[in-house]
Structure 1
Amino acid sequence: MSQSTRPRAESRSERISNEDVRVQLEGRAEVLESARARVAALESALRGRSWKRKLCARSSLVAEWLQHAEAVAEAQERTARRAEVEGWPDDLPLLKTARELEIRKRKLTTLVRERLAPMVSVSGPAVLNEELRRLEELVRRPAPRSPEPGEVLLYQTEKMLKATPRQLAAWVVSLLGAFGGMVALLFALLGHGPWTTGVPTTLLVMSLLVLLFRSGRVWLTSERLLWAPTFGEALSVPLESVPFGGVWLESALTLRVEGTPRVKVPFLSDSRYVATLVALHSQPPLRGLARSGVKLADAVVYPAELQEGVERRPGWAVLRPGGVSFVPEGTGRQVLSTVLGRETSLPAEPGWVLDQLRWMSATEFDAWVARLVSVSGGTSWSAWDGVRRGEEPLWKQLRLMKGNQVLVGQVEWSAQAASERVFSFWPKSSPQTER
């Protein structure tokens, strides 16, 4: 029977025309042709350096593609099945359209993945419609160049003229390192020695120019990390989009955050500190607590040194109505890992972590401080346990003594009033020396 029907199928395929196929597909031919035009337009918009601007300018491209995606997939499947079953000739114009559409879809899928990968974390096989929708959301999401009203500010970079000497020194050193090699290579290519009189001047000029037009400003709020470069678009990374381990230092002054979108902040002198804060406020137990805008007032965290005989242990002290605790220096990673509940490699300072715990309630704060003192090998003194306070004024030095141990530190001027308030809770019978 197959031998008798085969010639009829072949003769029919010879006689079938493109118009016959269009009629048989009941409108699916028009669906394929429209899809080919749309995929070509999308591919064109996503190519070139100004692809974001072009995609935003043609706002309906993605919406129209996604709107007709199911119909296009169904038309492709039906066309391919009927062509195989009915033996349509390969040179039919409609089949050429179907093949071109499939090729362009594959190219578009690859292109969308290339555009999306630098912005967010992607893995596994590329899925065109899902990733195209995600890409458009990222491109069209407006990123403010300053925090929104109602957000609680956790950190902000200072403007150039207000930068501290340490920050300026860090920027200059980083820039000299970045440009020194390029300038030396340039002079070598020109046949000059590496230490000609023009080199220091050139390095200085280039450093000053980049300092004036550096990466911009960084804000960390209760909701997001915001980076507004001097030139280019701002990037806003919601803290809830940052996974555990999604914060790291690419170099001493370069911060990377694996959120949605990804962000790389260069020339950030406080990169270690900002990385620690992002890691803390993007994960439990601190995630979302800063939205209250209320930090524990009766807790003062300050740098201190624990002295006992000739032994000196630098670290951080926590002054509370119930007493004082000490966490030694060099335990920052251990302290941060304990709070986050998982191991982290961020080079944190214990004091940074302790201070951020002040967003918790008093009960939670004291429990965490006790735990961190234990894991770090620190110590705690109760205010009711014979602790004496030295005679020095707070603005000069805070000296606390218990037996042959002495805890010496200096409280910032902004924390003087809070420190005095904490001491007002200490027992009057405690042998404090009157000032």
Structure 2
Amino acid sequence: MRKATARTRDIESESPETSALRRQLEGGLELLETASTHSQTLSTALGGMAWGRRLRYAAESLQRLLGAEPAVLEALESLRRRAQREQDASGAASRLLREHEAERERLSRLIARRLGLGEWGTLAERLKRLEALVLLMPLPPGKGESLLLAGSTELPPAGLLLRFLLALAFAAYFLGLWAAVTLQLGFIVLLWTRSGSYWLTSERLIWEPRLGLSVEVPLSALGDSAVEVSPATGNITFFGDKPLTLHHISGASRLVALLSIRRHKEFRGAAATPDPRRIISVVRARRSHPPGRTRLPDEDGQVFLRPDFVLFIPDMEARSLLETLTGAREPAIFSPWLGWEDSEASMELLIDQLQCLPEERMDALLRKVAAAGRSCVLWEPRDIDWELTGDALVLELSREGSKMSIRLAQRGGAAIRAVTAHWPGLAVSSPAPR
């Protein structure tokens, strides 16, 4: 509304000659003014230091300007004919023609400089090349993908900040105040130029530095690439066909852990969060072996309770379980500062990501774990004896002398009862009277 009011005021205050020209061009001048607004928006985005980042947010102006280009050329030709009939080069048509052509020339030069096009192409062709660049890197999440994690560099990681403060104190003590100020300014500039924002979606990883163009890597392209993590600087480097370094990332361990799971084809297309309507309960349990000549020790682990099966997975590293699920050896996560970095996916995160999968795929992977052995046990509900006891929620499962005991707080009871409601031979004991 404010822009419309300002435009109305400009039209009312313009010269009679310009008003007459506006009527003669029959909407052509309004079209040129609208195109000029979009052109200025694009020129501002391309003229700044962080032009790659700004270009994303000028995508609408780019598409509108490109779509209106044929009509703009027609309006310019009409304006040019009017200017040729003027006796004086300072007439309204001549003046407006020079302004619009200069604006278009400036935009064309900016696009050519940013994309390295030299003298190639008309403005329309350069706009199409620019549009192709924007379309290659849409703002996340794009169509058919979900956003998993996002972040940006706001403060330097603690390790990097500590090293800088020590260097600053050294410079101030031995070299003087001006040396410390220079060092501080250099650190701020270096951090700003190397920092940026990242997005992890279900399909790709996008890194948008403050300077330059955004870089995106499809998760499928990461494959078994090794990952280098520096907790001191917050840098993450992915080695592969398209090496990529993310600088000064806060919470680098969380990003690397998610990537170590989502890079596998088995997790492609998984949702961002588990479906709360899914009938499943994952709880801690203790499994005892059947009596025999050799008494085996009890095992602690995770038990997946599903309407169709019960799966017990003894305590193991999440890395080992992920390798069993995907059949692929997990690439190393190496830290030059702390040796082998423990940024790998935790068991809790892996279980959470499993529940983000489509239900059939999740069940198939869980059955795959049971088939791989490694002390994993899968029972069918029809083959087990079970009892759910009282408010304390003690679930006892037994089969051929082997037992599982599950004890948990009342808050987990709803999920367990939802699962056991699908099991045959319901056995629920009431709590003992107090």
- TM-score, normalised to structure 1, is 0.49
TM-score with structure 2 length normalisation? 0.49
